[in-house]
A and B are shown apart, each in its own frame.
Chain A
């Protein structure tokens, strides 16, 4: 009896999570997959015709926001690494006994709703707002200068919103490095730069990897930042999908979602292949 229970234990442990994922992730996903090849409209109803042309239409009609989303995602990820790595490094190695307070500060914005945070940025960056108004009055900036409705505004908003997802995993990876290992590098004649490049950074790469996934993916599929901070020229694929569903163009929305998903999976797997292998760490260490 005990052996039976022991054999069943692993299955019982995954059961709740497995059920949750099946009901709320796999089933809708399959429903969407089926929807993406259907034809019809809300009035007459949708029929499954396995119409792959839906995908072709989606790309031809919406390739621009699709490409823009991927570029925004990349730019956001890059900006988050550039800002987040030093932040995580500083907290992990110089934070001393206040480490947890600093981490809490990083997470503090999360206590405010995502949408509210983004809208407050809009107030901040608006043409005659608290930031730009005085600068324009003082003649530092030309009257026509604007930040909202630019690539910069959307990427900045995305970076701000997803930065903690970059900082936290990098922090965890850095925190796990045995300080003696860094000392060993110094002991073996490494300069500060060499110790960082050969030892600290390679050991932090798993954290960077996780951070890239956690910022890049949601940033590329975001639609709030583009709709609040962006203009007509900054539409992201998330906005398009959202609008398709609102307009009851379900097959189009669904096929766009799958294209986005496929592109991101492709990107992630090639990235994982390039970075995740130990050979890369080995080369980095030389």
Chain B
């Protein structure tokens, strides 16, 4: 949020203290429990989180299909909390596309323009131009059911984009496609977003997709935003245990701070072990902190490593050959299990065998102390 304010302009989309509760069957479901977001103009913004965490609900409140129980939704600075979807300058690409089954591709794409009374020549020009962009020229007369999944997806995209909305909301638009098509469409979507230059709000539960496509990601869990940051930061510096666990493979440790020096907390999980973690202010000696290290940052050696690195001792419990890399499961003295990825570049790297005593080491800057 601070980023958007620093960038100066009014955010394209702003949610303030937004809560959505559904009641039914005599109980209250708290789908969204208090979300603050500011999405910048022209940004590719992702909402990422596990199934049921409230992504679709958040999106539907932006589009106007659901009214927040509490809180305010602003579009380009204007409070639209009570404005119906037809009067909001955003368009939605639905999770299941929701194409009009009784209309041709052309009529699907023309629908919004017709409702707005765009004159015939301009309508025709804009529809054809948009079909060109999504590579569907020549398929105007087809019905949605006569198209492949990927083509339907592009019709849905064209149908929304042709209206030149100020923001496009996409709810898991690639969810129904197979892996190859997904990847092709990811690139395509990015290209289109750059070409038309409008704000994209992208809902996904696929972390890889969010990481590759987004300018910023809001990681959601159980109706709350756990972290809002650029992909790199979300991956490298997960703010919470949940984010660390949800994005990629992550090793989580918790330990008692032995001493603090030069902004580094020193932990001693076992005899001879030493873990160095950069900390900012908060923890004091004797506090328990959680920290995380990505498996690819860890080096595995037979000898004790030298220098100012974090190092812990363990025993190799499992070695898995993954083609381009090896994956090791290493059990530490305190029983914790650590995953280590090692590139398959040097034959010496794969020397550790099951049962070998090994040292694990990593640079202090590759581990982060997290909030709970």
Q: How far is the CA of A187 from the CA of B115 in the complex (A)?
A: 11
Cβ proximity bits B106-130 to A, threshold 8 Å, 1 near / 0 not: 0100011011100000000000000
Q: How far is the CA of A221 from the CA of B101 in the complex (A)?
A: 36
B143 — which chain A residues lie within 8 A by C-beta?
278
A224 to chain B, nearest CB (A): 38
Q: A281 near B85 (CB under 8 angstroms)?
A: no
Q: B98 near A183 (CB under 8 angstroms)?
A: yes
A189 within 8 A of B: yes
Are A285 and B94 CB-contacts (below 8 A) given A183-B85, A188-B159?
no
Q: A184 near B92 (CB under 8 angstroms)?
A: yes
Q: A189 near B86 (CB under 8 angstroms)?
A: yes
Q: How far is the CA of A187 from the CA of B84 in the complex (A)?
A: 9
B356 to chain A, nearest CB (A): 56
Q: How far is the CA of A281 from the CA of B143 in the complex (A)?
A: 12
Total chain A interface residues with beta-carbon distance under 8 A = 23
Q: Which residue of B lies closest to A176 (CB)?
A: B101
Question: Which residues of chain A from 240 to 286 have any CB-CB distance to chain B below 8 Å in the complex?
Answer: 278, 281-282, 284-286
Q: B107 near A285 (CB under 8 angstroms)?
A: yes
B193 within 8 A of A: no
Q: A181 near B86 (CB under 8 angstroms)?
A: no
Q: B63 near A187 (CB under 8 angstroms)?
A: yes
A203 — which chain B residues lie within 8 A by C-beta?
101-102
A187 — which chain B residues lie within 8 A by C-beta?
63, 65, 85-86, 91-92, 160
B288 within 8 A of A: no
CB contact between A191 and one of B86, B94, B112, B160 (< 8 Å): that residue = B86
Question: Which residues of chain A from 175 to 206 have any CB-CB distance to chain B below 8 Å in the complex?
Answer: 178, 180-181, 183-191, 194, 198-199, 202-203
Q: Which residue of B lies closest to A206 (CB)?
A: B102
A189 — which chain B residues lie within 8 A by C-beta?
86-87, 112, 115-116, 163
Are A178 and B65 CB-contacts (below 8 A) given A187-B86, A281-B102?
no
A181 — which chain B residues lie within 8 A by C-beta?
98-101
B363 — which chain A residues lie within 8 A by C-beta?
none
Total chain B interface residues with beta-carbon distance under 8 A = 28
> How many CB-defined contacts (below 8 Å) exist between A and B?
75
CB contact between B100 and one of A184, A186, A191, A278 (< 8 Å): that residue = A184
Q: How far is the CA of A154 from the CA of B40 in the complex (A)?
A: 67
B96 within 8 A of A: yes
B186 — which chain A residues lie within 8 A by C-beta?
none
A198 — which chain B residues lie within 8 A by C-beta?
111
Are A184 and B86 CB-contacts (below 8 A) given A189-B112, A282-B107, A286-B107?
no
Determine which residue in A181, A188, A194 has the highest number of CB atoms from chain B within 10 A of its CB, and name it. A188
B344 within 8 A of A: no
Top 6 A-B pairs, shortest CB-CB distance:
A188-B112, A180-B98, A189-B115, A184-B98, A281-B102, A186-B85
Chain A to chain B contacts (Cβ below 8 Å), 27 pairs: A178-B96, A181-B100, A181-B101, A183-B85, A184-B98, A184-B100, A184-B159, A185-B100, A185-B111, A186-B86, A187-B63, A187-B85, A187-B86, A187-B91, A188-B91, A189-B86, A189-B112, A189-B115, A189-B116, A190-B86, A194-B115, A199-B100, A282-B104, A285-B102, A285-B111, A286-B107, A286-B114
Interface residues in chain A, defined as those with a beta carbon under 8 Å from any beta carbon in chain B: 178, 180-181, 183-191, 194, 198-199, 202-203, 278, 281-282, 284-286
Interface residues in chain B, defined as those with a beta carbon under 8 Å from any beta carbon in chain A: 63, 65, 84-87, 91-92, 94-96, 98-104, 107, 111-112, 114-116, 143, 159-160, 163
Name 14 extra pairs, CB < 8 A, besides A184-B94, A186-B86, A285-B102: A178-B96, A181-B101, A183-B65, A187-B92, A189-B115, A191-B86, A191-B115, A198-B111, A203-B102, A278-B102, A278-B143, A282-B103, A285-B103, A285-B107
